[in-house]
Amino acid sequence: MATPAPSLTDIAIAAAIEAAETICTIYHRPIQVISKDDGSPVTEADRAAEDVIIRHLEATGIPMLGEESVAAGIVPTLGDLYFVVDPLDGTKEFIKRNGEFTVNIGLVQNGRPVMGVVLAPTTGEIFVGDEGGAWSGKIVDGVVTERRPIGVAARPRPKIVASRSHGHAALEQLCRTLDVEADLSVGSSLKFCLLARGEAQLYPRFTPTCEWDTAAGQAVLEAAGGAVVTLDGAPMAYGKGSLKFLNPYFVAAASLDLAQQAAAEMRRLLD
């Protein structure tokens, strides 16, 4: 019997595993930090990991929007279906060496993130979401182990998770109005994964992000039963090339109701 062709999810997982290995090699050496044109930091690891991912995804023939390629002026023509890649989300955390950084590969179809792989190189934790649901696992010697389904969990007082390096004053006010337990601060797309695994319920984002920061995490969270909405309460959409792929402010939450309630509150606070 012929072996079935790998799915796009399988291809993205293989790409993320090899990219994470490349990142780990560099992580254990002295890290040289370069400042991008927009002032944000980039390292040799960001670029090397994106090259690895490009090599894996190329064979699919599907266009890829990559953070480092865009920074180098390479923006492909994007159709209804494209990959969105942040090879190293949480570069500031990578530089601080606190382990809170991830490899992100998302697939966008008709403006919606339909598949996502998020992998934390130092722990080997992997989070995957697609039409088959959401699951987490652990990469050991380049192989997925401990694979188990994941899902969001409601709490009477939601736990909130926020950026470690990009905060906003309105966050505290939001916590007070919604009566949340504000206790977690984490770098990178791991915030979406904490929600997807039921460890937190709310991730309000009052500072800028780009599509590559959120596509994979949003796909994981939505496959786990959660939602990501912009401040008008609509699901966050992709393909904003005319805006340089910049996302508006958003709320990720364990349910659409909670996301929309928090979005309405954020709108009120920011007015």
Ligand X SMILES: Nc1ncnc2c1ncn2[C@@H]1O[C@H](COP(=O)(O)O)[C@@H](OP(=O)(O)O)[C@H]1O
Strands lying side by side in the sheet with 250-253:
181-186, 159-163, 202-205, 250-253, 227-230
Q: Which of 163, 214, 218, 261 binds ligand X (CB under 6 A)?
A: 163
CB of 80 to Mg ion, least distance (A): 24
CB of 161 to ligand X, least distance (A): 10
165 binds, among ligand X, Mg ion, none (CB under 5 to 8 A by kind): ligand X
CA gap 83, 244 in Å, rounded? 16
**What residues from 206 to 245 belong to the interface with Mg ion (CB under 5 A)?**
213
Q: Which residue shows structure tokens 């490349």?
A: 22
CB of 43 to ligand X, least distance (A): 10
43 binds, among ligand X, Mg ion, none (CB under 5 to 8 A by kind): none
Residue 90 marked in a binding site: yes
- CB nearer Mg ion, residue 3 or residue 35: 35
Stretch that binds Mg ion, among 191-199, 205-213, 244-252, 263-271 (CB under 5 A): 205-213
Site string for ligand X, 49-88 (x = CB under 6 A): ------------------x------------------x-x
Q: Which of 50, 89, 125, 222 binds ligand X (CB under 6 A)?
A: 89
Residue 89 marked in a binding site: yes
Stretch that binds ligand X, among 55-63, 130-138, 208-216, 249-257 (CB under 6 A): 208-216
CA gap 106, 62 in Å, rounded? 12
Rounded-to-10 torsion of CA 262, 180, 228, 61: 160
Residue 271 marked in a binding site: no
Q: Enumerate the known binding-site residues for substrate.
A: 67, 88-91, 213
Point out which residues bind ligand X (CB under 6 A): 40, 67, 86, 88-91, 163, 165-166, 187-188, 207-210, 213
Q: Enumerate the known binding-site residues for Mg(2+).
A: 67, 86, 88-89, 213
Point out which residues bind Mg ion (CB under 5 A): 86, 89, 213
